[in-house]
Structure 1
Amino acid sequence: MGAPTPPPHRVDVRRALGGGSVADLLLWRRWLAGVALLFSSTATWFLFERAGYNLLSFAANTLFLLVLVLFLWAKSAALLNRPLPPLPDLEVSEDSVAKAADVILEWINHGLSIAREITVNRNLKLFFQVACGLGAISYIGSLFNFLTLVYIGVVLALSVPFVYDKYQDHINDKLCVTHSILQKQYKRFDERVLKKIPVPPNKEKKIE
C-alpha cells in the first residue's frame, strides 16, 4: 500500500481577513458586536423592505430628531449651567483621504489592466471570465434590489468565514473536487470553441 495522503494545509482565516477587529467580528470572536451588526442589519432591511419606509424620509427624520435633541440639550445646559453635549471631531483627516485614494487608485489600475489585456492582447480566456462574472452579477442584480443585496452580503460575511474556519477540511475536499470538474469542462470548452476563434496578430504601431 502507498503512503497515506497528507492532510491539506489549513488556512489561517483570521490572518487572511486582516487579523484585526474586523476579522474577530466576522469570526464571531466579538460576539456582542456581531449580534449588534446582524440585528441592526435585519432591522434596517425589515424597516425599508417589509414596512415600506422611505430611505429619504428616514434619514431626514433621524437628522431632525438628532438636531432637536442637541438643540434642547444645549439650551438646557446654558440655563442650568451644565456642560454642552460632547460632540466628536467630525473633520476628515488628510491621512484617511490619502489611504482611501490609494485603494481607489489600485482598483482603477487593476480594472484598466484587465481592459488592456482583453482589448490589446486579445486574451480570450480573460474575456470569457469577465463576461461570465458580469453576467452572473447582472442576473443576481435582477433578482434583488440594492438593499437586499447589501443585507445578503452582511449575512454571508457573518456566516461564511465562521463556517469555513470551523469546517475547513471538509470544505476544502469538496472545493478540490469541484475545481477539478470545472477545469475539465473549461478545457473542453477551450479546445472546442476558444481555440477555433481566429485571432488576428497583435501589430504594434510604430511611432516615427
Structure 2
Amino acid sequence: MSDPTAPVKLFGRQRPIHDVLGGGTVADVLLWRNKIASAALLIGSAVIWFLFEVVEYNFVPLLCQILITAMLVVFIWSTASEHFKWPTFEIPEIILDEQAFNLAASILHARLNQFLSIFVNIARGKDLPLFFVALVSLWILSVLGNYCSFCKLLFVGLLFLETLPFLYERYEEDVDYHAIIMHQQIKKKFSELDSSLFNKIPRGPVKEKKTT
C-alpha cells in the first residue's frame, strides 16, 4: 500500500530516475555517473555536428576518409609489429561477440515497445493535458525540422538527453513540486473549458421509448 504522505513524483512515477532510464549503462551515461563515457559521447557528437554542419562534410567522403585512415593505421601497426615485436592488431572481442549484438538488439526492441506503449496511452486521450502537450511538442518539432537539419536536431536532442536528466536528478524535489502544481492548474483549466463547451451545446428533448 502506497504512503499517502509520500511526495508526488513527476508523471506519477514511483521509481528513481535512474531506474526509469533503464538502470544500466545508458542511465549511467545520461546521469553522468560514468563521466568518461558521458564526456566522450558529448564530445563525439559535437565533433560530428561540427564536421557536417560547420565544415559541411558529406557523409560518403567522410566515411571513405575514416576508412582510409583506419587502413593506414592498421598497415603501419602491422608492419611495425614485425620489426619491434609489438602485439599484432586484432579486432576487439566485444565487436565480434554475438551475445553483445543480441543484447543490444534486445534492449533496442524493449525500448521501442516501451515507446509505442507510452505513445498509444497518450494518444487515447485519457490525460487531456498530457495529450495536448504531446501534440504541441510534436508540432513545434515539425516546425523546427523545416529550419534545422536532421544532424543539428539530433545533436540538440542528445545535448538535452545528457543535461536534462542530470539536472532533474539534482533538483528533483523542486522540479516535481512546480511541475505537479502546473499540471493541476492546466488540468483544472481544461476541465473548466470542457464543462463550459458542453454546457453550451443545445440539447433537444429526450424522447421516451415506445413500449409495446
CA gap of 1:136–1:190, structure 2 versus 1, over 3 A, is farther
CA gap of 1:8–1:99, structure 2 versus 1, over 3 A, is same
Spell out the pairing of 1:8-157 with structure 2 (5 A cutoff): 8=7, 12-78=16-82, 83-89=87-93, 90-91=95-96, 93=98, 95-96=102-103, 99=106, 102-103=109-110, 106=113, 110=117, 114=120, 129=132, 131-132=135-136, 134-157=138-161
- Flag structure 1 segments of 5+ consecutive residues without an equivalent: 197-208
- Whichever residue aligns with residue 147 of structure 2, its letter is L
CA gap of 1:24–1:69, structure 2 versus 1, over 3 A, is same
What displacement does 1:101 show?
7.4
Structure 2 contact 8–176 (Cα < 8 Å) conserved: no
Work out the CA distance in 2 between the residues paired with 1:160 and 1:18: 16
CA gap of 1:87–1:151, structure 2 versus 1, over 3 A, is same
CA gap of 1:25–1:183, structure 2 versus 1, over 3 A, is same
CA gap of 1:170–1:125, structure 2 versus 1, over 3 A, is closer
1:161 to 162, 165, 168: 165
TM-score (normalised: structure 2): 0.66
Fraction of identical pairs, as percent:
26
Work out the CA distance in 2 between the residues paired with 1:104 and 1:65: 35
What displacement does 1:74 show?
2.8
Structure 1 runs, 4 residues or longer, greater than 6 Å off = 124-128
TM-score (normalised: structure 1): 0.67
Bigger drift between 55-64 and 182-191 goes to 182-191
CA gap of 1:162–1:43, structure 2 versus 1, over 3 A, is same
What displacement does 1:20 show?
2.2
- Flag structure 2 segments of 5+ consecutive residues without an equivalent: 10-14, 202-212
